[in-house]
Amino acid sequence: MGYVTLMNPHLLPHGNVRVLQVIAPGPVGGAESAVLGLSRGLVEAGAQVVIAALADGSSGPFVDRARAAGLAVVVLDSPGRNYLRDWYSLRRAIREHRIDVVHTHGYRADMMGLLAADSERVPSLATAHGFTFGSRKNRLNQWLAVRALRRHDAVIAVSDPLSATLRSLGIAAGRVVPIRNAWQPPPGPLSSRTGARSRLRLPDDAPVLGWVGRLSPEKGADIAIAAMTFLSNAECHLAFVGEGRERPALEAQVAAAGLGNRVRFLGMVPDAAAVLPAFDALVLSSRTEGTPMVLLEAIHARVPIIASAVGGVPDLLPAGTGLLVPPEDPVALAGAMAAVLADPSTAHARASAAVASLAARSSPAEWVSRHLAVYQRLLEQRAL
């Protein structure tokens, strides 16, 4: 199918910098939400933004969300990961849209975006959203991506621990730019608790804990299921929003634990951020993280948060704004779940404190302006 323009370039606003955001998107995810939020913010600030989606059959929801937000998108149809076609199509997008800066997100985008930007002699930068260090395939992809990151003109780290990781992997300290993720709220309203539960087909009269993300080992869905076996509240349900290769194993874990009537797998939910009010608390049981966008979404929705203290999570949730537990500790996680369910008023007070804390420490406008400053610096360096 090749190179397909989904929205006409005349929809782009006028601005001083033209940015190509490159991502190989899944249906949903933190990096995908960050790209959409950042792109909307950049356009509002006057930049010209084109999103290049290295797409396969699972990328439709992301592309649809980008189109619905009025963003300019080119789909580089590449089933089977045809890297030569990716390289050619990205070069064509850079030329046709007269791109000034290429900004990549994710392993495949980091590699192919760098090669295309180098070929077209424009600066490039990458955002490191986190490392999984999981399967052999993931480790190989990360090994290749790290070598690409070393050659980008700048690498944005979304948390301080991730900045340290990048430097330890050989990325020059002067090229690592720490910019924590911020939340650019979507234009649509949040659902009410009743409306969200109705949409998700959840019981309206029982406590429900929510888990949102990719069902992959680093996200620790198995830890949340294990915690349910230690939770004495037999009325509580745990609802998983998301898909991934671990789902069959997780369903088997649920069955073996006798939790079939208390744990639900809801699959992919379009615009999942809007239905977060369905949950009495959001559970993030990850083994590793950067700065999770789902936590920013939950803070915006004023949903109490229970999270593993990994990566940039403690930066987002200082004391009094959420409950943090050690990673891979289902007993501690169950204790935090029980505390939220036993004292919902205190849990909601922490959620309100999280809103105030986030507003005082970061803003979407600052997030966007810091990216624009990086783009400008790279252009000035390239002009020397």
- Residue 11: per-residue pLDDT: 40
Fold agreement between 2-182+363-383 and 193-361:
yes
Q: Which residues have CB under 8 Å from 8's CB, separation 6+?
A: 72
What pLDDT does 133 receive?
A: 55
* 3-state SS track over the chain: CEEEECCCHHHCCCCCCEEEEEECCCCCCHHHHHHHHHHHHHHHCCCEEEEEEEECCCCHHHHHHHHHCCCEEEEEECCCCCHHHHHHHHHHHHHHCCCCEEEEECHHHHHHHHHHHHHHCCCEEEEECCCCCCCHHHHHHHHHHHHHHCCCCEEEECCHHHHHHHHHCCCCHHHEEECCCCCCCCCCCCCCHHHHHHHHCCCCCCCEEEEECCCCHHHCHHHHHHHHCCCCCCCCEEEEECCCCCHHHHHHHHHHCCCCCCEEECCCCCCHHHHHHHCCEEEECCCCCCCCHHHHHHHHCCCCEEEECCCCHHHHCCCCCCEEECCCCHHHHHHHHHHHHHCHHHHHHHHHHHHHHHHHHCCHHHHHHHHHHHHHHHHHHHHC
Beta strand 2-5 pairing with 72-77: antiparallel
Tell whether domain 2-182+363-383 is in CATH 1.10.3720.10.
no
Give the whole-angstrom CA distance, residue 155 versus residue 177. 6
Kindly state the tokens that stand for 120: 């077209």
Break the chain into its structural domains and give their ranges.
Answer: 2-182+363-383, 193-361
In angstroms, the CA 9 to CA 28 distance is 25
Q: Are 350 and 304 in contact (CB under 8 A)?
A: yes
Nearest to 268 by CA among 301, 296, 237, 244: 244
Give the integer Cα–Cα distance in Å for 254 and 262: 9
pLDDT at 132: 62
* Residue-level pLDDT at 65: 87
Q: Determine the CATH number of domain 193-361.
A: 3.40.50.2000
Q: What is the pLDDT along the chain (384 residues), one digit of tens a residue?
A: 344 444 434 343 345 899 999 999 887 788 898 999 999 999 999 999 999 999 876 677 888 889 988 999 999 887 666 788 899 999 999 999 999 999 999 989 999 999 999 999 999 999 998 776 555 666 677 778 889 999 999 999 998 888 999 999 999 999 999 998 887 776 667 889 999 999 999 999 999 999 999 899 999 999 999 999 999 888 999 999 999 889 999 999 999 999 999 999 999 888 888 999 999 999 999 998 888 999 999 999 999 999 999 988 998 999 999 999 999 999 999 999 999 999 999 999 999 999 999 888 878 889 999 999 999 999 999 877
Phi, psi values for residue 340, rounded to 5° = -65, -45
Angle, vertex CA 363, rays to CA 67 and CA 303, nearest 5: 80
